[in-house]
Structure 1
Amino acid sequence: MKTNKLYIASLCLGASLTFGSCDSFLDIDAPKDQVAADLAFADAKVAEAAMVGVYTSMNNFNNQFASALLSLVLASASDDYYSAFTTYDEYKLNTITPNTSYLDRLWSQPYGYINHCNKIIEGLAVSPLTDAVKKQFTAEARFVRAFNYFYLTNLFNKVPLVTTSDINISNTLGPSSKEEVYAFIINELKLAETDLADAYPTSERTRPNKKAVSALLARVYLYHQDWSAAEKSASDVIGDTRYKLLDNLNDVFLRTSNEAIWQLQTVNTSTAGVNTWEGFTIVPAQPTARAYYNIYDATLASYEANDKRKENWLKPYTTGGKTFFMPFKYKVRTNAPVLEYNMVLRFAEQYLIRSEALLKQGKTKEAITDLNQIRKRAGLTLLDENTPIAQVTLALEKDRHLELLGEWGHRWFDLVRTNRAVPVLSQTKGNFEAADQRIPIAASVLLTNPKLEQND
């Protein structure tokens, strides 16, 4: 059937995005089963399969940009957790160079997903499908495109703003400023927010709805220091009764979690029973085996007494007579049926976003109220409403760290955007300087386009 053929093509495209040639960061070979664009977008089911193929490509192989790699390397670069494997030492020691392992994937793979989205948007623009169908899939593609640009610009600062699938154009583009990229992201998300329905397209939360866009917008506004807009977008999500802070922390990362705003489902045929690549990577194969990912000592020391996040989201193990703690948000290495999905956007972050946005606007009591929602769920003493703003600021920084630990590089980006990387990491990791917070573009990527510029 036509739909099945395109689904297979989507899987093939996912593989090509992951293991594509270095000759060009957007030069991706078309899958063998690829149908002509005018046919691919003449049927709603085929168009849906093309869009689903983007999500598949983001989470179908281990140790790729959107399937554990970004979280792992930025957890190591900050003070979340580190790997015992030497291939990650340069991230742990903050000695990243243009030749560091895996660095090329942090650039080329997001651009691969963007290129896929560009093709979908272009195909739908000339498609005979109904306006409703075209709006749905165009909005999803805009959302995913904006999501990937958010990470690219926060990783590498100035990046090319590619909005066409024409390789001859895209591979000769110079970098756009971070301000230009943010303007593009915000516009994309506003368009997507308008066109996406409030209901999820399926019974699960693996494709975005309107509130998923609002949640990402809230984060983008926060990073862009548009405090009132961040407050409003976060409030839009917090006011939706479908989302809840779950009392049982062990339920947060389940596929059925009501804290989930947007999740990715792992699609893999090579390793039976994989639930998430984080779980597969971090959880030992045997319950009594040692782990290879350890929480930094300084982070362990920052937990307050009775913090449920330490009890439920970390797991101790002993080796060589010493006790270490491994990250344990994802608890399943392999299991059938699947119990866990990769959590991309979740409800707790919206309280933290709104708390920071309120604090920046001088609404300290309201900011404390939101932060206390997170602290209450963690089993901690609530902050008094008269707590000084400087103390609230530090409490918010710590609770963002411990709440979002290991998830999608939050800690790294928080320290960099608030100018706290040097004072914090120089104390907890030793010799950390301002230059260490700039992640270089991989040397192999720079060879693909003479107009690319190394990160400062």
Structure 2
Amino acid sequence: MKNFKYIILLILIVNLVASCNDFLDEEPSKSTATVPDKLEHLEALLNNYGEFYSEPASELIFSTDDYGFITDLYDASTSSYSLTSLQYGTWDKEYLPNTNRPYWPREWEKIFTANLVMQNLGSVAGEDTEKKQIKAEAHFIRAYSYFQLANIYCLPYTEGNKQELGLPIKETTSFEESMERVSLEDTWKFIESDLNKALELTRSFTQVNDLNRTWRASTAAVNGFAARYYLALNDYEKAQSYAQEALNEYDFLRDYNTDMSFSNAPTQVTIFNPEPTQVSIDFPYTHDSQEADLMLAWGESYYFRALSNGSWKYWPSEELLSLYNQTYDLRFKYHMVEGYSYEQANAVDPPYNYPGYVFFHRSDILSGPSVPEMLLILAECQVRTGAYTQGIQTINQLRASRMDASAPSEIINLSAASQAEALVKVLEERRREMPFVHRWYDIRRYNNNEDSSDDVVVTRTFYPYNGSSILGAETPVNFSLEKNSRRYANPLPDTDIIASDNVLKQNTY
């Protein structure tokens, strides 16, 4: 474990630069190892968006009812699903701790970087005003990563769960700092303390060379994260206030009627039906580039983060697909790619057509705070606090940019005759707008608020499995994640527990 930690330290130090060249005039370059003794060295660490933006969180991708485990798709091609994806998708606690650890270390590396920046601020040359901005930004990064980890590896924060296991508190780069997990209550207090320090940031939401500077923190980004944080705690007044603050600063929405299109290079696939037939698969234009420029140019984000699926397979569940107006909803038109199973599962002989969700390339979906998310938070909070008519009006601002302008007005605009009806419609819109990315967080909070009408029990019917394979020849079985399941805390990697000499404790089930 110590060797692993020193490797992380070496990587971070190697990424320091002798002089800071920001992305598009600010992008950091690599150099030989150096000790951070200038403010620009710390700036270079924070400008290294490649370290920060990716969130390869299988726990978020596969675990919710947005992701479809379809027996017919598996029957058509066993490459449709990996064993690991099914383990995440059925909330396994036996095999996953020994399988891999892709996401757990990623956020700890970001926390390490934030701590490295804060630890060295006092000893580097630079203006005090800029140091204060960087310090606030480092607190933001640390709060953001702790929020991610707490929502994936700990139980939901409730009065009854306060003394359950939280996370280790890491405030320095010392490898001797304890790995013991503090209580869930102390973990959330730590996140809120960092958030409050992050809110001292005064750097406005700005552009560099016609791109929003979303790879660095801004007042809008911090307010957006604060809205997300308080929504997770079901504090609707604070969540609404921070969402409005973010929108007051920046409220651009991409109009799918004019600013969205298909790729100029559709993919050609041969299927056998039974004779060979050429099929064209249309991808959104956002599929065409794996470079960050396209994601940064999207324009709706406050902070550049992306959920990343290395398998390139976001199979939408049949339940998720049913939520879209498949005639007029342009999100369905552009992001639900018909024939995706031909290409990504090789389900061509005989052909089996199942759509895949595609946003950027095949792997990434923007997950940082954004204008659409703030509108959805604002609308939900308005509805939950009684102003349901206003909440419907807010959600229709978003729909105006997502629905086909030729649709009847009653299709474009939602309406509701009661608070309960408005809540259903707003939560469905949230799911249509941000599939896969927020659903895990949402189910956790729905099941632990004062309103039982939005409770969710996730169920699946799929093939059983063992530690080495999916048992596709056996009869499908039912899997379910009950409302109060302890499996809402994902298991920690056993390798890290062993490396800590068992100071780091595993979740109990």
How far apart, CA to CA, are the structure 2 residues paired with 1:370 and 1:323?
A: 36
2:230 aligned with 1:208: no
In the alignment, which residue of structure 2 is the partner of 1:308? Answer: 330
How many Å apart are 1:34 and its aligned residue? 8.0
How many Å apart are 1:331 and its aligned residue? 4.0
2:354 aligned with 1:324: yes
* TM norm structure 1: 0.77
- Which of residues 208, 222, 243 is equivalent to 2:252? 243
How many Å apart are 1:264 and its aligned residue? 5.0
Q: 1:102/1:29 Cα in 2 relative to 1: closer, same or farther (>3 Å)?
A: farther
In the alignment, which residue of structure 1 is the partner of 2:61? Answer: 75
In the alignment, which residue of structure 1 is the partner of 2:320? Answer: 299
How many Å apart are 1:381 and its aligned residue? 3.9
Q: 8 Å contact 2:337–2:357 — kept in the other structure?
A: yes
Q: 1:368/1:261 Cα in 2 relative to 1: closer, same or farther (>3 Å)?
A: same
In the alignment, which residue of structure 2 is the partner of 1:192? Answer: 198
Amino acid at match of 1:176: V
In the alignment, which residue of structure 1 is the partner of 2:417? Answer: 387
In the alignment, which residue of structure 2 is the partner of 1:426? Answer: 459
Q: 1:446/1:255 Cα in 2 relative to 1: closer, same or farther (>3 Å)?
A: same
- Which of residues 134, 138, 141 is equivalent to 2:135? 138
How many Å apart are 1:208 and its aligned residue? 1.6
How many Å apart are 1:145 and its aligned residue? 0.8
- Which of residues 222, 231, 252 is equivalent to 1:222? 231
In the alignment, which residue of structure 2 is the partner of 1:270? Answer: none
- Which of residues 175, 191, 200 is equivalent to 1:167? 175
- Once the two structures are superposed, the pairs formed by residues 57-456 of structure 1 within 5 Å of their partners are 57-59=51-53, 66-67=54-55, 69-70=56-57, 72-81=58-67, 84-97=81-94, 99-100=96-97, 103-157=100-154, 158-169=166-177, 172-200=178-206, 202-203=208-209, 204=211, 205-241=214-250, 243-248=252-257, 250=260, 254-263=295-304, 282=312, 292-305=313-326, 306-317=328-339, 318=342, 319=347, 320-331=350-361, 344-379=368-403, 380-384=411-415, 386-407=416-437, 410-419=438-447, 423-426=456-459, 430-434=478-482, 435=485, 436-449=487-500, 450-456=502-508
In the alignment, which residue of structure 2 is the partner of 1:337? Answer: none
How far apart, CA to CA, are the structure 2 residues paired with 1:447 and 1:105?
A: 17
SS at match of 2:51: helix
How far apart, CA to CA, are the structure 1 residues paired with 2:141 and 2:260?
A: 28
- 5+ residue gaps, structure 1, are 1-20, 60-65, 266-275, 283-291, 334-339
In the alignment, which residue of structure 1 is the partner of 2:24? Answer: none
How far apart, CA to CA, are the structure 2 residues paired with 1:110 and 1:241?
A: 27
How many residue pairs get matched?
395
Q: 1:250/1:180 Cα in 2 relative to 1: closer, same or farther (>3 Å)?
A: farther
Q: 1:100/1:310 Cα in 2 relative to 1: closer, same or farther (>3 Å)?
A: farther
Amino acid at match of 2:495: S
SS at match of 1:194: coil
How far apart, CA to CA, are the structure 1 residues paired with 2:243 and 2:65?
A: 27
Amino acid at match of 1:112: E
How many Å apart are 1:128 and its aligned residue? 3.3
SS at match of 2:141: helix
How far apart, CA to CA, are the structure 2 residues paired with 1:447 and 1:353?
A: 40
Per-residue CA distance 1:363-386 (angstroms, 9 max, x = gap): 2222222222233333244232x5
How far apart, CA to CA, are the structure 2 residues paired with 1:323 and 1:302?
A: 19
Question: 4+ residue stretches of structure 1 with deviation over 6 A?
Answer: 22-27, 34-37
How many Å apart are 1:73 and its aligned residue? 4.2
Q: 8 Å contact 1:24–1:448 — kept in the other structure?
A: no
- Percent of pairs with identical residues: 20
In the alignment, which residue of structure 1 is the partner of 2:266? Answer: none
SS at match of 1:165: coil
RMSD: 3.2
In the alignment, which residue of structure 2 is the partner of 1:30? Answer: 10
Q: 8 Å contact 2:314–2:358 — kept in the other structure?
A: no
How far apart, CA to CA, are the structure 1 residues paired with 2:460 and 2:50?
A: 40
Q: Which has the higher helix share?
A: 1
Amino acid at match of 1:165: T
Q: 8 Å contact 1:98–1:441 — kept in the other structure?
A: no
Per-residue CA distance 1:394-440 (angstroms, 9 max, x = gap): 22222111110133xx1111112211897441278743033343311
SS at match of 2:319: helix
How many Å apart are 1:124 and its aligned residue? 0.2
In the alignment, which residue of structure 2 is the partner of 1:285? Answer: none
Q: 8 Å contact 2:224–2:246 — kept in the other structure?
A: yes
Q: 1:296/1:418 Cα in 2 relative to 1: closer, same or farther (>3 Å)?
A: same
Per-residue CA distance 1:99-125 (angstroms, 9 max, x = gap): 357652322221121012101101003
User: Larger radius of gyration, structure 1 or 2?
Assistant: 2
